[in-house]
A and B are shown apart, each in its own frame.
Chain A
Amino acid sequence: MSDYRVLPGPEHFLPPAAASMGIRLPNPGEAHINGVITSEDKAYEEAARQFLMAKVPTVFPGPLVLWAWNEKAAKKATAVRHLFNTLKECVQPGQKPMLIPMPDYRPKYPKINPEVEINPNHPNLTIWHNKIDCCMFIGVHCHQANLSLKIIRGGTSCYTIAMCAQAGHEDAMLSFRDASVEKIMRLADTVKRLKGTVQPRLTSAKNGASS
């Protein structure tokens, strides 16, 4: 097993792909935390804890849930909204949950508006602008998610979670696999259950994403 750990950055300008450092993807029913394979139960707890600790916990829904291209996608979108609403209910004063879409993968010139969207080619802009210190990707195609997760790890201190519908993301600090409506709802339930038990990082000098 690799000694490499997928940790919040900023790692450096071109962080290695975690796969090239020996990090492997979880099997069905598993997840990974920092590149170490773990049970899904533990991952729900950790993801919920990270959300509740963060000053600006953020969900980034991608095109696969933003567009109702089939019934399942629309249901997942409803679950994502439920998770965000739960986060809003469970955070303490001073914490600011956000829901920012990734509607397009193409690099936008002259610029994106980081207040309203995130782009996989420069996700750091949105993270820096909104001082996001924990985020979750959902409904983003694998290759674009991997690209973004690496850029975020390279240039920010943001904690990244991937709620992946396929085999998971080794470049995220925490990754689920086979994402479903039930899994998103379970994460929301875990956030609700841990409400009040986690101390937010509001006073830390290092909170928020750094450049």
Chain B
Amino acid sequence: MSKERIQISEALYDIMPSDYQDLVKSATYGKEDRGWKDIGTSKELIEQHSLCAGCPESMAFRYILASLPNPEDTVMVGSTGCTSLVFPMVAVHNIHSLFGNQNAIASGLKRALGVRFPGRVKDVVVLAGDGATVDIGLDMTLQAWFRQEKFTTICFDNELYANTGGQESGLMQKGFVAKMAPVGKLFDKVRLPEIARESGCHYVVNCTVSKPSLVEKVIRNAVHVAREIGPTYLQLYTPCILEIGKNSMEGLQEMRDSEKPTERFAYKEYISEPAKQLLAELAAKDKERKAAAKQLAGQASA
């Protein structure tokens, strides 16, 4: 796969808005080792978006889109929430599902893609908020995992319904008082990473998006494991700075504070045995490829 497939008609090239020209000229479609370090030197797969200034979700989007191993052959499935405002500005195929249906849609999509393109790797990535993943869509989320559907589920966990003014969600911390939840949460944050593990996910990570290299690693691992073995789940803390009373500049610090070893977003990872084996094989191949490239570069400069 490569960007040769998406050329603009020469006769109308000059009238295309510059973001589309840039996507064709310098986006990283087809680049084997694409990652967050491409940000700033190539066209990102996300254009201007309407998220709030300083929103950690926008950071997460940028890192994830930079890290997808196969964006030209990836379909993302979104759901209702702040993320649905961003998808129109994303240069990866995407589907907006009804609230909570995202994992059911992704199940059918993944199977249909397998039938339609039998010889081609097609990745499906669900990206939804905590309301869609854990509350309204929990049934669909779990059933997809039980069925061992081969796609990645990413939950942007901001611990409440941010898009509608701050209602209580299952992933909200116990005791938290939000604008539309004045009594305070009465029960504990749902432990979805553990539920994911028990439901058959082969790769589960709970972390924040404060470190782009970490986001890149977990996204690549999750997509590769889902492609070859079975369902994977990433729960990424993307705090809503407005709803927790922070300023635009404080999102990153909020994530850093929340990932300390005793905090709820301390890095947690579960990898099944088959997934461990696969990731070890991929790492060995990657090492070989890099060594070969280094040798080739050395020969060329000699």
Contacts and interface: CB of A to CB of B under 8 A. Distances in A.
Please say whether chains A and B are actual partners in one complex. yes
Interface of A: 61, 65-68, 73-74, 77-78, 80-81, 99-101, 103-104, 106-110, 113, 116-117
A189 B237 CA distance: 61
A110 B89 CA distance: 10
Contacts of B9: 65-68, 73-74, 77-78
Contacts of A116: 15, 17
B11 interface: yes
B10 A68 contact: yes
Main secondary structure of the interface of A (DSSP, over half): loop
Given A67-B9, A77-B9, A109-B88, 7 more contacts: A66-B8, A74-B10, A78-B10, A80-B11, A101-B16, A116-B15, A117-B17
B12 interface: yes
Contacts of A74: 9-11
Nearest to B48: A110
A109 B49 contact: yes
B6 interface: yes
Interface residues of B, number: 18
Contact of A99 (B6, B7, B8, B15): B15
A67 B89 contact: no
Determine which residue in B6, B11, B16 has the highest number of CB atoms from chain A within 10 A of its CB, and name it: B11
Contacts of A106: 87-88
Contacts of A100: 15
Interface of B: 6-12, 15-17, 20, 48-50, 85, 87-89
Contact of A81 (B8, B12, B16, B20): B12
16 contacts: A66-B9, A68-B7, A68-B8, A68-B10, A74-B9, A77-B9, A77-B10, A80-B11, A81-B12, A100-B15, A101-B17, A103-B16, A104-B88, A106-B88, A107-B88, A116-B15
Given A101-B17, A103-B17, A109 B85 contact: yes
A43 B17 CA distance: 32
Contacts of A107: 88
Determine which residue in A65, A74, A113 has the highest number of CB atoms from chain B within 10 A of its CB, and name it: A74
B2 to A, nearest CB: 15
A117 B17 CA distance: 7
A103 B49 CA distance: 17
A109 B20 CA distance: 16
